[in-house]
Amino acid sequence: MRLVSFVIPCYRSAHTIGGVVEELRSAMAELPEFEAEFVLVNDCSPDDTFAVLRELAEKNDNITAVDLAKNFGQHAAIMAGLRHTAGEIVVCLDDDGQTPGSEAGKLIRKLDEGYDVVYAEYAHKQHAAWRNVGTVLNNRMTEIMLGKPKELTITSYFAMRRFVVEEMLVYKNCYPYVEGLILRSTRRIGTVPVTHRAREEGKSGYTLVKLFSLWMNGFTSFSVKPLRMATWCGAIAALLGFLYFIVIIVKHFVDRSIPEGWASTMALMLLLGGVILLVLGMIGEYIGRIYMCINASPQYVERQVIRKRG
């Protein structure tokens, strides 16, 4: 039998994670050639999520519960889960029931068509409007910075082969970005249509600040294009400043009645100053992340792992 590992990062999901696991079990029962294991990672949820995970792990020999020492974020939680998997196929999905476990077979079957990674593609996402806008911006960012194919849609529900997982686990540094790790491992990536459900309860753990932080991980951890863009911005600003300098000189000799322009001078200073600060900030972001990696800042810290022993 082929083993499929399900990795589910959990946060404020004490009331939903049990239903997600049961739905996945029912889906796998319809795939007799596969058997399943579940790795449930508590990302330091403030409610009793880990108590639920502990109970599931103690009652089932194919469930592992991992408790992180603090909130490291969804991508770090996924990396923690991946290190506890053994399946030749690994499926990652959300803990809130919006990503339907009943359709996991679609992703698994699609891999057999020759793909290394398969993402769920939603016709209608049941997120808030600002989250949908954020998804569009994130897809655009990965196209520009990471070389993602334009027709590929990236979501939090995906299946991948074992060799992709092993390549991802080579990455030991802090600030993991799952999409970047996948895109640097393979380009044989497909999609399959899947239903996106409305949230059963609660609200998304993502805020604008967390989304911005996630985007910065993608910007700075897997691409130097932001630095190149900053260089181009600096070069363009310098060129505009030089051209404006020529205009000022020509006006001075052509029309001596033109007074010295305070407004134009200030505008030029603000333009150049803004570009300089932008470039310095981008460089500082890279240097800061290098510093954190050199000091061995952890990708995640496990407080405990619960696994039933047969």
CATH number at residue 139: 3.90.550.10
CB hemisphere CA count around 275 (13 angstroms) = 18
CB hemisphere CA count around 267 (13 angstroms) = 8
> What is the C-alpha separation between 206 and 76, in angstroms, rounded?
14
Query: How many structural domains comprise the chain?
Result: 2
Strand partners, 110: none
> What is the C-alpha separation between 108 and 119, in angstroms, rounded?
10
> Can you give the pTM of this predicted structure?
0.76
Let me know whether 230 and 186 are in one domain. no
> What is the C-alpha separation between 301 and 276, in angstroms, rounded?
38
Is 127 a member of any domain?
Answer: yes
> What is the C-alpha separation between 278 and 284, in angstroms, rounded?
10
Does the pLDDT at position 230 exceed 60?
yes
The confidence score (pLDDT) of residue 225 equals 66
CB 130 within 8 A of CB 148: no
Domain that holds residue 261: 225-294
Let me know whether 13 and 90 are in one domain. yes
Residues above pLDDT 70, as percent of the chain: 74
Q: What phi, psi does 44 have (nearest 5°)?
A: 55, 50
Does the pLDDT at position 258 exceed 70?
no
269-281 pLDDT tens trace: 767 777 777 777 7
Element (H, E) at 89: strand 89-92
Reported as a pLDDT band with limits 50, 70 and 90, residue 286 is: confident
Let me know whether 131 and 193 are in one domain. yes
59-91 pLDDT tens trace: 999 999 999 999 998 999 999 999 999 999 999
Residues above pLDDT 90, as percent of the chain: 48
The confidence score (pLDDT) of residue 10 equals 96
183-204 pLDDT tens trace: 989 999 999 999 877 766 655 5
Let me know whether 178 and 287 are in one domain. no
